[in-house]
Each structure stands twice: as C-alpha cells, then as structure tokens.
Amino acid sequence: MKNGQIWYDTDGNDIQAHGGCIIKHGDTYYWYGEHKGGETKVTHLVSGAEVARVDVIGVSCYSSKNLRDWKYEGLALEADKDNENSPIHTSKVLERPKVIYNEKTNKFVMWFHAERPDYSLAGVGVAVSDSPLGPFEFKFAKVPNKQDSRDMTIFKDNDGTAYLFHSANRNKTMNIARLTEDYTDVDGFYVSVLEDQEREAPALFYKDGMYYMISSGCTGWAPNAALFAICPHLLGKWKLIDNPCEGKFARQTFFGQSSYIFEAEGKFYLMLDHWKPDDLRNSGYSILPIEITDDNCLIVPWQEEWQGI
C-alpha cells in the first residue's frame, strides 16, 4: 500500500474511509471513515468561499486482522435519503467519524462532524450500535455546550472517561468536552485549550504520563505543517511544540492531514488523509509510525509504504 495514494480493499475496490479512525475490538481492527464515493461538487461557505463536497453516503466500515488486508463490511451508518430535514440527509456534510466502545453499556458509539453544506451548523452527530459492524442508529446532531464544533475527535482517558476534542470559536480554539458515562452525549463540562492557535484535525494518544496531540492548521483541504502539542494533564495547559514530520515535504505534512492515532502492538500510528479537492473520492491515505523521544518530542518519518503489522 503506497502511502499518499488511494488504497484498495480485499475485493479490489477503492477504500472509502476518509477522515476516519481505526479501533481494535477482540482480535480485529475496524476502520471507519467517510464514504466519499460520489461526484465532487462545489458548494459555498457562508463567507462566499468555494468548498468541495460529496453528497453524504454514510460511514463505511472495514475489518482487518493485520491492518493491511481490509474487508469491506458495508455502511455502518447510512445517510438518510428521504428526510431532507435529517442532519444526515444526503444533501448535508458528514465528516471525521470516530467510534468508541463503551464497556459499561456494551455499545459502540459513533461521533462525527455534522454539517450543512455551507458549514454553518458546526455541530456533532451521535449514532449507536450493538455491533462494531453496525448498523449504527442515528440519535441526534447538536451544537455541543453551545460551542461551535467543526473538526473533532473522541479520546478515551485512562480512567474510562471519554472526551470530545473539537475546534471551536470559529476554529480559533480547541475545546475538550467531557462525555456522559454512556458516551452518547456531552455532560456540560468543558475547557478551552490552545486558545488563538487555530488548530484542527486533532489526533491524540497517551504514553507514560504524557498526552500528545497532533493537529493541522486551518487551510481547508490544502495541506499545511502539522504540529504536536503535549500536556501532562488531559485538561491542563496544552503547549504546541513543533512539527513532528521528517522527510521530503515534511512542511506540508507530506501533503496529508491528520485524522487519527491508533495503537497496535504497543506502537502508535498516525493516519493521514491526502485530500484531492477536485476529486474527493480518490483522496489518498497514509499510516505512519510515531516515534517518541526521551524528552517527549514526536517524530513522524515519511515511509513510502504501509505494510501493516
């Protein structure tokens, strides 16, 4: 699998799992992401600026044992084709789906960026399933804690408490909003971090007393330099440190943008989307290993290929 390019599933079809995440349940890895397998259309933001979108198809699910051979398991969450008022109607925008398993309820909970075509909603959507394969039942979309929410991720802390990380305050700030015990809503408590730093596409992990966040700047589908931030306390004062990328085109994050960090066999890996705004369905993927130095710095070296584990 060539990093930066579109990948194929075990049937030879293009993998449609953009802005996604990989989780492990039992001995299987599940990759969820935006199915962008439609025509790229141009829409307008409230500001009048043009932005590319694809009609919502749904959230795909792929399964794998080795992180290389991906079997298509179908749409875990399907767009609503009938009800124009549904936040997941075909005419809307659905981005960055993240799935988290709740041990107390034994349910899989999916969070995503729920949006209008002009990006004026700035909300999150929640869907729930008994099985990792779905079908996920859509519950609601809302603006969490009355704070606008665009790029986002979900992170489970060591004590089992989960948080929604989302770009807020018109992308100027990152908010960390605590979820309810069943992970299906925010509970009202949140903090704002990285104020005025304008970060998006957050991806997180924890290792040996330190929390790490890799994020991108705010340049839409265009690549920019990733930065990593660290904090010894999840809700403490996060500090931006440096660009972790190393190699050719490191300043452009190898023409990619962070979507998620997952752990496999004790190592952490960064998932990137290589957006093609003229042809979103053919946007490529990368999975790159993350190295952690003794002084809590991150290094993400470019590799031509992803070979799985």
One residue of 54, 59, 201, 270 binding ligand GAL per CB under 6 A? 201
The smaller minimum CB distance to ligand GAL, of residues 202 and 244, is found at 202
At 65, list the tokens.
């044992």
**Taking the complex as a whole, how short is the minimal distance between the CB of residue 1 and ligand GAL, in angstroms?**
22
Q: Report in angstroms the alpha-carbon separations of 224 from 27, 112, 129, 152, 212.
A: 35, 23, 35, 18, 19
One residue of 3, 7, 16, 19 binding ligand GAL per CB under 6 A? 19
Would you give the DSSP letter of residue 172?
A: T
One residue of 32, 147, 200, 288 binding ligand GAL per CB under 6 A? 200
d(CA 237, CA 308): 35
Is residue 55 near ligand GAL by the rule CB under 6 A? no
**Taking the complex as a whole, how short is the minimal distance between the CB of residue 238 and ligand GAL, in angstroms?**
19
One residue of 4, 24, 51, 91 binding ligand GAL per CB under 6 A? 51
DSSP 218-282: S-TTS----EEEEESSTTS--EEEE--EESTTGGGGGG-EEEEEEEETTEEEEEEEE--TTSGGG
Which residues 97-136 are close enough to bind ligand GAL by CB under 6 A? none
Which one, of 135, 296, 286, lies nearest residue 211 by Cα?
Answer: 296
Interaction pattern, residues 56-95, with ligand GAL; x per rule: CB under 6 A: ---------------------------------------x
The smaller minimum CB distance to ligand GAL, of residues 148 and 200, is found at 200
Report helix, strand or coil for 144.
Answer: helix
The smaller minimum CB distance to ligand GAL, of residues 185 and 273, is found at 273
Question: Does the N-terminal peptide bond of residue 135 adopt cis geometry, omega within 30 degrees of 0?
Answer: yes
The smaller minimum CB distance to ligand GAL, of residues 127 and 201, is found at 201
- The residue type of 224 is N
Judging by DSSP bridges, how do beta strands 298-301 and 245-246 pair with one another? parallel
The smaller minimum CB distance to ligand GAL, of residues 55 and 151, is found at 151
**Taking the complex as a whole, how short is the minimal distance between the CB of residue 140 and ligand GAL, in angstroms?**
20
Half-sphere exposure of 47 (CA within 13 A, CB side): 5
One residue of 36, 92, 96, 156 binding ligand GAL per CB under 6 A? 96
Is residue 198 near ligand GAL by the rule CB under 6 A? no
Looking up tokens 């399907």 gives 78
What are the residues binding ligand GAL (CB under 6 A)?
19, 51, 95-96, 151, 200-201, 220-221, 257
